């Protein structure tokens, strides 16, 4: 089934669910019920709080209604007629939507954007059984055309996403054309639950999220902090090898800086409120770029210095609604492997290609070889969302296209997803379950150099304005760690594992030997954990297995007397006998090759 038809079928299924709920709970009041990836949801105000145990009952009623081959009946009427209809039906949320359509020409009310949509006098409604909905459609002809479906969860959702409004019950469902597709999806979801980084991360001692500290603010535990440091050391070493210069900027900056950059006007809803310090206002920084430009302006630059590449592992803070927070994937404070490249127009293509090649290398090093590339362009119909002239945007977009095509990279154009200051390339990595994760980004910016009056002295001794590139290859260390946890299900490659070798002593008399062995490994910078606690050896081994440590060594009488080590390798049942030197060489080789 084509995507368009599948979405129509899924939206029709959301109406079927609403019709079933109305049969079961006649006092239900309905919000909105859109299509989402793989399914649908509906926000509903119900007289009782539903639980997951209520979903089979709703599903059963949906199937009963579907068997009746009910028709989706469409009717047009004036807004006033529709308002009377929904008033009679006691559906206040539909009336509120109609009031917005009457006033703004749209159901989306945004005071910050000037809405100039064509006002409409008529709306369409759809009837399915007893359920009547305000809806543009289209829908399938009848419930006979609806495929297989399953209701999967219930969540709370503030009406229209506003915390000041009432919280409704959001019921999620999935829908597919065939049972085979549904079963396959559910199997993937089951596997995804096993890999959930929010569960695995704390179990492996990597991170925690504690509301006492603050929502969306991860706390890195010792093993997680070590893993993060390994990642940071690796990427910084690679960036410095390629001519990047390391810089650092503070966590707060003067508000005027973000007014100059344009963030205050175009990005304010994602920024925290200013902090008053004496007679000035400061912002917790949402971006690193303004600081890098101030560093650049600290001295006069010659064309001979170009390109100039600044990089920083910079922590930024952005406001996210509590309902959107999700483990390490969506947080309020995160660290970007940020970089800003200032180059001359004739160097632009070379720099873009260099970043693309570096992105491929970095992702491959972490074992991420499958990804899709998206080219995010400006929406020509809504230019007010963006800074800069048409000429600048045309140049930027053409430069990105040329770089992608010269590297023979397949990409998909996405209109309207550009940053407010320029077009961008986004890389979405596919994990072990073939799910996409937004990670790397590369953006062209002709605007900030102009707003900050960034110049250099050219060959003729005259001032010239450089082009600026923004790039983050891991995106944020938090999200990238979440991806790695789920991709590897916590069983990281040896070079990334917080603990590479686990040594378990059988009894008291074996403890000194176990510690001595660990100290030998540490001389090679191997990360070792020794368990000399008074526990059974079986318990110690199971603990290491649960921690998904690559190598387990048990030290007893035989091991102390032998020149061989008994090596348990993660995921393998057979225990290997290895001379200590050969074992060390094996581990070091795996680390070097990043297997």
Single residue among 457, 488, 519 that ends a domain in this structure: 488
- pLDDT tens-digit readout, 160-217: 888 889 999 999 999 999 999 999 999 998 999 999 999 999 999 999 999 999 999 9
Residues 434 and 460 placed together within one structural domain of the fold: yes
Order of strands across the sheet with 73-78?
A: 73-78, 122-128, 131-134
Provide the pLDDT for residue 383. Answer: 75
- pLDDT tens-digit readout, 183-196: 999 999 899 999 99
Among 113-117, 180-184, 575-579, which stretch is predicted with the lowest mean pLDDT?
113-117
pLDDT bucket at 454, cuts 50 / 70 / 90: very high
From the candidates 424, 487, 527, 540, which is the catalytic residue?
424
| Residues in a beta bridge with 246 | 311
Domain presence at residue 494:
no
| Residues in a beta bridge with 127 | 73, 132
Domain presence at residue 493:
no
3-class secondary-structure state, position 150: strand
From the candidates 139, 318, 360, 510, which is the catalytic residue?
318
For the chain, give the mean pLDDT: 92
Domain presence at residue 495:
no
From the candidates 223, 340, 487, 527, which is the catalytic residue?
340
| Residues in a beta bridge with 408 | none
Residues 280 and 390 placed together within one structural domain of the fold: yes
Structural domain range at position 357:
200-488
Domain presence at residue 324:
yes
Cα–Cα distances in angstroms (integers) from residue 185 to residues 75, 130, 175, 180, 213, in the given order = 35, 31, 10, 9, 36
Q: CATH number for the domain including 574?
A: 3.40.50.800
Dihedral angle sign, alpha carbons of residues 289, 295, 300, 305: negative
Which DSSP category does 269 fall into?
G
Single residue among 147, 172, 195 that ends a domain in this structure: 195
Give backbone dihedrals phi and psi of 197, rounded to 5 degrees, phi first.
-65, -25
Q: DSSP readout, 189-215?
A: HHHHHHH-HHHHHHHTTSEE--TTT-T
What is the percent of the chain with per-residue pLDDT over 70, rounded to a whole number? 97
Residues 470 and 558 placed together within one structural domain of the fold: no
pLDDT bucket at 120, cuts 50 / 70 / 90: low
Angle at 281 between CA 275 and CA 286, to 5 degrees: 65
Q: Which residues contact 136 (CB under 8 A, 6 or more apart)?
A: 124
Tell whether the model's pLDDT for residue 117 goes beyond 90.
no
77 vs 576: CA distance, rounded Å: 77
What is the percent of the chain with per-residue pLDDT over 90, rounded to a whole number? 80
Domain presence at residue 315:
yes
Residues 164 and 242 placed together within one structural domain of the fold: no
Bond from prior residue into 138 cis (ω within 30 degrees of 0): yes
Provide the pLDDT for residue 119. Answer: 57
Please indicate whether residue 349 is annotated as part of the active site. no
Tell whether the model's pLDDT for residue 85 goes beyond 60.
yes
Tell whether the model's pLDDT for residue 420 goes beyond 80.
no
Query: CB–CB of 343/307 below 8 Å?
Result: yes
437 vs 326: CA distance, rounded Å: 13
pLDDT bucket at 116, cuts 50 / 70 / 90: very low
Q: Helices 55-67 and 3-24 meet at what angle, rounded to 10? A: 110
Residues 12 and 48 placed together within one structural domain of the fold: yes
Please indicate whether residue 332 is annotated as part of the active site. no
Q: CATH number for the domain including 102?
A: 3.30.980.10
pLDDT bucket at 65, cuts 50 / 70 / 90: very high
The CA-to-CA distance between both ends of the chain, in Å, stands at: 40
More confident residue, 385 or 112: 385
Which DSSP category does 418 fall into?
S
From the candidates 470, 471, 527, 540, which is the catalytic residue?
470
Q: Longest Cα pair distance anywhere in the chain, in angstroms?
A: 92
Provide the pLDDT for residue 1. Answer: 65
567 vs 514: CA distance, rounded Å: 14
Please indicate whether residue 487 is annotated as part of the active site. no
Residues 204 and 191 placed together within one structural domain of the fold: no
pLDDT, mean of residues 125-145 = 95
Q: Give how far the C-alpha of residue 64 lies from the chain's centroid of Cα atoms, to the nearest Å.
A: 39
Please indicate whether residue 470 is annotated as part of the active site. yes
Provide the pLDDT for residue 324. Answer: 84
pLDDT bucket at 531, cuts 50 / 70 / 90: very high
Burial class (CB in 10 A: 0-12, 13-18, 19+), 62: buried
- pLDDT tens-digit readout, 249-273: 999 999 999 999 988 988 888 899 9
From the candidates 43, 54, 133, 338, which is the catalytic residue?
338
Angle at 340 between CA 297 and CA 335, to 5 degrees: 115
Please indicate whether residue 471 is annotated as part of the active site. no
533 vs 504: CA distance, rounded Å: 9
| Pair type for strands 371-377 and 412-415 | parallel
- pLDDT tens-digit readout, 492-530: 999 999 999 999 999 999 999 999 999 999 999 999 999
97 vs 95: CA distance, rounded Å: 5
Residues 418 and 552 placed together within one structural domain of the fold: no
Residues 186 and 212 placed together within one structural domain of the fold: no
Tell whether the model's pLDDT for residue 113 goes beyond 50.
no
- pLDDT tens-digit readout, 1-45: 678 899 999 999 999 999 999 999 999 999 999 999 899 999 999
Tell whether the model's pLDDT for residue 107 goes beyond 60.
no
471 vs 482: CA distance, rounded Å: 20
41 vs 170: CA distance, rounded Å: 6
- pTM, 2 dp: 0.82
Residues 405 and 288 placed together within one structural domain of the fold: yes
From the candidates 336, 443, 500, 547, which is the catalytic residue?
336
Domain count along the chain = 3
Dihedral angle sign, alpha carbons of residues 341, 342, 348, 350: negative
Domain presence at residue 545:
yes
328 vs 316: CA distance, rounded Å: 14
Q: Give how far the C-alpha of residue 33 lies from the chain's centroid of Cα atoms, to the nearest Å.
A: 24
Domain presence at residue 91:
yes
Residues 435 and 559 placed together within one structural domain of the fold: no
Query: CB–CB of 83/103 below 8 Å?
Result: no
pLDDT bucket at 46, cuts 50 / 70 / 90: very high
Please indicate whether residue 196 is annotated as part of the active site. no
Residues 306 and 374 placed together within one structural domain of the fold: yes
Provide the pLDDT for residue 110. Answer: 44
pLDDT bucket at 359, cuts 50 / 70 / 90: very high
Burial class (CB in 10 A: 0-12, 13-18, 19+), 405: exposed
Tell whether the model's pLDDT for residue 111 goes beyond 70.
no
User: Which helix H or strand E contains 16, and what residues bound it?
Assistant: helix 3-24
Cα–Cα distances in angstroms (integers) from residue 512 to residues 104, 498, 505, in the given order = 77, 23, 9
Please indicate whether residue 289 is annotated as part of the active site. yes
Tell whether the model's pLDDT for residue 115 goes beyond 60.
no
Q: Token pair of 280, please?
A: 């000035």
Q: CATH number for the domain including 313?
A: 3.30.930.10
Residues 540 and 560 placed together within one structural domain of the fold: yes
Query: CB–CB of 375/498 below 8 Å?
Result: no
Q: Which range among 316-330, 415-429, 577-591 has the greatest average pLDDT?
A: 577-591
From the candidates 289, 431, 443, 548, which is the catalytic residue?
289
Query: CB–CB of 579/565 below 8 Å?
Result: yes
Single residue among 174, 195, 216 that ends a domain in this structure: 195
| Strand positions, DSSP E, 198-349 | 207-208, 219-220, 245-246, 252-254, 275-277, 280-284, 308-317, 333-343
* Alpha helix ranges (H) inside 89-132: 92-104
């Amino acid at each position: 089934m084509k995507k368009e038809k599948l979405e129509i079928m899924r939206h029709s299924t959301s109406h079927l669910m609403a019709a079933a709920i109305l049969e079961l709970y006649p006092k239900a009041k309905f919000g909105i019920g859109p299509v989402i990836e793989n399914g649908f949801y509906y926000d509903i105000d119900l007289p009782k709080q539903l639980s997951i145990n209520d979903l089979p009952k709703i599903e059963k009623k949906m199937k009963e209604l579907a068997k009746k081959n009910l028709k989706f009946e469409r009717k047009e009427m004036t807004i006033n007629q529709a308002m009377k209809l929904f008033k009679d039906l006691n559906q206040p949320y539909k009336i509120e939507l109609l009031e917005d359509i009457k006033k703004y020409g749209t159901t989306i009310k945004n005071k910050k954007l000037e809405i100039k949509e064509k006002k409409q006098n008529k709306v369409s409604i759809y009837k399915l059984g007893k359920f009547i909905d305000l809806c543009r459609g289209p829908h399938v002809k009848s419930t006979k055309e609806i495929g297989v479906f399953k209701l999967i969860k219930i969540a709370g959702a503030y009406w229209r996403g506003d915390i000041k409004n009432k919280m409704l019950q959001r019921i999620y469902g999935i829908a597919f054309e065939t049972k085979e597709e549904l079963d396959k999806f559910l199997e993937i979801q089951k596997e995804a639950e096993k890999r959930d980084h929010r569960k695995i991360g704390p179990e492996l001692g990597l991170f925690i999220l504690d509301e006492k500290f603050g929502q969306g603010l991860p706390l890195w535990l010792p093993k997680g902090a070590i893993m993060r440091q390994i990642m940071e050391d690796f990427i910084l070493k690679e960036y410095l090898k390629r001519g990047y210069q390391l810089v650092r900027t503070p966590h707060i900056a003067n508000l005027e800086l973000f007014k100059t950059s344009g963030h205050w006007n175009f990005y304010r809803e994602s920024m925290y409120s200013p902090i008053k310090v004496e007679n000035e206002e400061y912002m917790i920084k949402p971006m690193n770029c303004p600081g890098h430009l101030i560093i650049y302006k600290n001295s006069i630059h010659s064309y001979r210095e170009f390109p100039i590449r600044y990089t920083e592992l910079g922590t930024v803070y952005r406001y996210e609604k509590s309902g959107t927070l999700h483990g390490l994937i969506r947080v309020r404070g995160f660290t970007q492997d940020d970089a800003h490249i200032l180059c001359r127009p004739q160097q632009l293509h070379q720099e873009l290609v260099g970043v693309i090649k570096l992105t491929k290398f970095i992702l491959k090093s972490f074992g991420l070889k499958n990804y899709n590339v998206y080219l995010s362009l400006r929406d020509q119909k809504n230019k007010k969302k963006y800074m800069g002239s048409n000429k600048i945007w045309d140049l930027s977009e053409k430069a990105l296209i040329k770089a992608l095509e010269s590297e023979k990279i397949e990409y998909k154009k996405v209109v309207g997803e550009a940053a407010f200051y320029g077009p961008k390339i986004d890389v979405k990595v596919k994990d072990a379950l073939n799910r996409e994760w937004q990670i790397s980004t590369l953006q062209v910016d002709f605007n900030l150099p102009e707003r900050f009056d960034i110049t250099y002295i050219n060959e003729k001794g005259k001032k010239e304005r450089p082009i600026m590139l923004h790039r983050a290859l891991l995106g944020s260390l938090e999200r990238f760690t979440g991806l790695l946890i789920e991709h590897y299900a916590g069983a990281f490659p040896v070079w990334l594992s917080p603990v590479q070798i686990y040594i378990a002593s059988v009894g008291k008399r074996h403890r000194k030997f176990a510690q001595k062995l660990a100290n030998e490994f540490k001389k090679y910078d191997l990360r070792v954990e020794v368990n000399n606690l008074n526990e059974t050896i079986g318990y110690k081994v199971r603990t290491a297995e649960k921690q998904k440590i690559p190598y387990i060594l048990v030290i007893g009488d035989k091991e102390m007397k032998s020149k061989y080590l008994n090596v348990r390798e993660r995921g393998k049942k057979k225990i290997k006998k290895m001379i200590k030197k050969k074992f060390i060489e094996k581990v070091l080789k795996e680390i070097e090759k990043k297997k």
